[in-house]
Amino acid sequence: MNILIMVIVLLISVIFHEVAHGYVAYLFGDKTAKYAGRLTLNPISHIDLLGSIILPALFILSGSHFMIGWAKPVPVNSANFKNPLKDMMIVSLAGPLTNLSLAILASIMFKAFLLINTIIISPEFTYFLLTILKTTIILNLVLAVFNLFPIPPLDGSKVLLYFLPYDLKVKLLRLEPYGFLLIFILAYFGFLGKILFFVINPLLNMIL
């Protein structure tokens, strides 16, 4: 049941993440995501074979208590923006900020149901609901922090591009074909988990 909750929460969270990118891009004048039918919460439009199915399945089969994944990236054409570099930075931040907002909302609901306690709701239902909310908080914090890593093609790299001088922008963009390889190497040697734990633990304590 816990695994099923993790998979469902992860899928919903990454969909909200991607729709946020597309919607903010739409507000800035890029209708690419809208024309591609991606401004929807329908999972079928967003499922990515590797990030939404294979990778979460590998985490489950390995018995890991940690899980990460992604949806199919929403298409964004920065050429449609008035200020391509700045607008792209804001579009990139929309995804992680949406995940952070979902984590905060879930934490408010978590505390509210703790106050209600088991007088109104049965202990079994309370435990089930609190498990969903706790999973939502943790997974969305992981997604927010993970996507802010300054490694192409993650959102953090597009935020960093806005602040870098031109020569460093070029060097960062050259890393994009090797970005996911670098992420997997960091994960394999345990650096990714340590960085996430270092950042997420104080955030978790703060919102709870």
Mean pLDDT value across residues 12-16: 92
Query: Which residues carry out catalysis?
Result: 18
pLDDT at position 116 is: 77
pLDDT digits (tens, 9 = 90+) for 126-160: 888 889 999 999 999 999 999 999 999 899 999 99
pLDDT at position 67 is: 64
Alpha carbons within 13 angstroms on the beta-carbon side of residue 142 total: 21
> Which domain range does residue 171 map to?
2-207
Helices (H), 28-67: 32-35, 55-61
Q: What share of the chain is helix, strand, coil (3-state, %, to 5)?
A: 75, 0, 25
Domain count, the chain: 1
